[in-house]
């Protein structure tokens, strides 16, 4: 089945795709996953309605852009306001960090607003037609069939390794070769292993550990860079539920730990394999004086966060660079735009602010 579309096509309904759709409602979004969100993902368990974020867990409201020698400040709440989007959030950790009260994934659904992405569609290959349009070959996981769509404007928001796979599975094309060469220095992602521990009837004494779960701006997270248990977040403080009398701890493990334990981390049901179950129970007992958890749920992100973003990892997005000019030229020359956290940096506010800037300046 083939069809032609005049709308620009964006592959990926993560935070990058949703930011584009928020500001350019005429685009069409396709994504291979069942639900939008990508690395901004929230899980709510069916039985006891426990909610937790297993990708990004919070965002900053401010970001800066350095362009033509000038630094401009952007605020996410203002960007949402301008686009008629309202997302109920609460501060966490300090005055600059926030999370949506119904889960991080509502950032994406909120920005998509009335836009319905076409999910469960995996882009398998791309070829160029005689008129230079792109022919996209998708596999529909729901219909179990291949579908082709033609477009003249293509935007890819997948992590770089998945883009390279896509190009390599496609008919050879010099445009793909140019992109592969250009993307190489930025193709560096850290892996992240994640565990969610849940207790039905036990809660930690957070104050005894220097945290403040009950203050106006709760301090319910602990970041210890370089520690195996690098980031810990008591998610029942973020998402209290009347049916949950216990506690949930979300842990993100360090890059080194995640690299070492990636392959054998979990079984098909996302339970830790017996070796890790024992290890996790012992460590959570040591660290938080916790009884054995009633459940442990594991997850792993192969391309969790881009490490060498073109516009910088922290501080203002550096748009005065030669690399950024080369990126603009390559987008024009190849007729494909590629963007995501490898361009802006792996932070939600950098992506949303960056997309806002590109659209505002007619670059995207």
Ligand X SMILES: Cc1cc2nc3c(=O)[nH]c(=O)nc-3n(C[C@H](O)[C@H](O)[C@H](O)COP(=O)(O)OP(=O)(O)OC[C@H]3O[C@@H](n4cnc5c(N)ncnc54)[C@H](O)[C@@H]3O)c2cc1C
**Chain positions contacting ligand X, by CB under 6 A:** 11-17, 30-33, 38-40, 55-59, 122-123, 157-159, 162, 166, 192, 194, 252, 301, 304-305, 340-341, 346-348, 351
Q: 13 or 298: whose CB is closer to ligand X? A: 13
Strand order in the sheet with 154-156: 28-30, 9-11, 154-156, 336-338
Compute the least distance from the CB of residue 215 to ligand X, in Å: 20
Compute the least distance from the CB of residue 18 to ligand X, in Å: 7
Compute the least distance from the CB of residue 37 to ligand X, in Å: 7
Compute the distance between CA of residue 274 and CA of residue 258 in angstroms, rounded to an integer. Answer: 17
Compute the distance between CA of residue 342 and CA of residue 186 in angstroms, rounded to an integer. Answer: 6
What's the start-to-end Cα distance of the chain, in Å? 29
Residue 108, phi then psi, degrees to nearest 5: -70, -50
Q: 48 or 146: whose CB is closer to ligand X? A: 146
DSSP-based three-state secondary structure for 176: helix
DSSP helix, strand, coil percent of the chain (3-state; round to 5): 30, 30, 40
Residue 279, phi then psi, degrees to nearest 5: -60, -45
Q: Which structure tokens are listed for 141?
A: 């996981």
Query: Nearest to residue 313, comparing CAs of 263, 285, 350?
Result: 350
Residue 58 near residue 98 (C-beta atoms within 8 A) = yes
Q: 159 or 353: whose CB is closer to ligand X? A: 159
Compute the least distance from the CB of residue 122 to ligand X, in Å: 4
Compute the distance between CA of residue 78 and CA of residue 62 in angstroms, rounded to an integer. Answer: 10
Compute the least distance from the CB of residue 255 to ligand X, in Å: 11
Compute the least distance from the CB of residue 57 to ligand X, in Å: 4
Compute the least distance from the CB of residue 268 to ligand X, in Å: 19
Q: 59 or 74: whose CB is closer to ligand X? A: 59
Name the closest residue to ligand X (Cβ): 38
Q: 203 or 313: whose CB is closer to ligand X? A: 313
Compute the least distance from the CB of residue 269 to ligand X, in Å: 20
Q: 109 or 157: whose CB is closer to ligand X? A: 157
Q: What is the torsion angle, in degrees rounded to the nearest 10, for the CA atoms of residue 108, residue 61, residue 359 and residue 167?
A: -50
Residue 330 CB contacts under 8 Å (≥ 6 apart), including other chains: 178, 179, 182
Compute the least distance from the CB of residue 97 to ligand X, in Å: 9
* CA gyration radius, the chain: 21
Q: 247 or 351: whose CB is closer to ligand X? A: 351
Q: Where are the alpha helices (DSSP H) in the chain?
A: 15-23, 76-82, 105-112, 160-168, 174-183, 235-238, 255-261, 274-288, 322-334, 341-344, 348-360
**Strand duo 28-30 + 9-11: pairing:** parallel
């Amino acid at each position: 089945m083939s069809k032609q579309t005049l709308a620009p096509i964006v592959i990926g309904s993560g935070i990058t795709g949703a930011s584009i759709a928020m500001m350019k409602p005429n685009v069409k979004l396709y994504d291979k996953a069942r639900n939008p969100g990508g690395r901004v993902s929230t899980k709510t368990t069916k039985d006891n309605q426990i909610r937790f974020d297993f990708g990004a867990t919070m965002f900053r409201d401010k970001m800066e852009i350095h362009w033509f020698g000038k630094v401009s400040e952007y605020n996410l709440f203002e960007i949402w306001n301008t686009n008629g989007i309202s997302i109920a959030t609460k501060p966490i950790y300090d005055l600059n960090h926030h999370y949506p009260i119904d889960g991080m994934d509502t950032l994406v659904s909120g920005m998509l607003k009335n836009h319905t992405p076409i999910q469960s569609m995996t882009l398998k290959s791309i070829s160029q037609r005689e008129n230079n349009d792109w022919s996209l070959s998708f596999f529909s996981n729901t219909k179990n069939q291949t579908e082709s769509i033609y477009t003249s404007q293509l935007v890819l928001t997948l992590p770089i390794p998945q883009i390279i796979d896509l190009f390599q599975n496609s008919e050879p094309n010099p445009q793909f070769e140019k992109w592969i060469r250009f993307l190489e220095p930025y193709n560096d992602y850290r892996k992240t292993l994640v565990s969610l521990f849940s207790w039905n009837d036990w809660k930690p004494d957070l104050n005894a550990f220097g945290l403040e779960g009950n203050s106006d701006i709760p301090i319910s997270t602990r970041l210890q860079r370089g520690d195996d248990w690098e980031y810990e977040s008591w998610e029942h403080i973020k998402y209290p539920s009347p049916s949950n009398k216990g506690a949930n701890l979300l842990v993100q493990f360090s890059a080194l730990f995640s690299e070492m334990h990636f392959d054998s981390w979990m079984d098909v049901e996302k339970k830790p394999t017996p070796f890790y179950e024992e290890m996790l129970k012992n460590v959570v007992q040591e660290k938080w004086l916790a009884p054995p958890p009633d459940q442990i749920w594991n997850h792993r992100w192969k391309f969790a966060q881009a490490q060498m973003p073109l516009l910088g990892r922290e501080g203002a997005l550096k748009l005065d660079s030669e690399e950024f000019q080369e990126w603009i030229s390559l987008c024009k020359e190849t007729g494909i735009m590629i963007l995501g956290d490898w361009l802006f940096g792996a932070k939600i506010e950098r992506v949303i602010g960056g997309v806002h800037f590109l659209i505002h300046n007619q670059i995207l």
